[in-house]
Amino acid sequence: MERLGRITTSLPDLPIDRRMTYGAMRRAIIGLPVTVSSAILPDGLWGCYDATTDVILIDRRLTYAAKRCTLVHELMHWRHGDAACDRLGRGREERRARRESALFLVEPMRYGLLEQMYDGNSWNIAQELEVTQQVLGDFRLAMSERVCII
């Protein structure tokens, strides 16, 4: 489909929402054409998506909040069909997956209330939202980019 000179693609809907736990998300995506498994991954790697096999692996040693965030992040890669081989493409895909995951997982009104309640303390806010510090930071960055001062 072409709209305003840009080609848009139809991305698959995800049968999950931000209120779900990691377990509920895993159960909800069973019907999708992607397999999610847990494994012990190399240090520093929380999850990965393999486009050739449509498999997502998540490190089983993570906390449930980290597993939840990692699952959504890897689902964003799957949803877009990310499989860039060049370094520039991978960086772009990674930034997009991080941004989309943060915007998916954090509800702005709830974040605003928690920001006031905890006086900006990112650890407390992340705990309440059941997200990682990285996801919270990505959300804050995305929100700061949306601010327009005239």
pLDDT in tens, 79-134: 999 986 666 678 999 999 999 999 999 999 999 999 999 999 999 999 999 999 99
Start-to-end CA distance of the chain, whole Å, equals: 34
Structure tokens at 97: 């997956």
Sheet strands (E) in the chain: 2-3, 6-7, 35-39, 47-50, 55-59
Report whether 58 contacts 70 (CB < 8 A). Answer: yes
Share of the chain above pLDDT 70, in %: 87
pLDDT of residue 86: 65
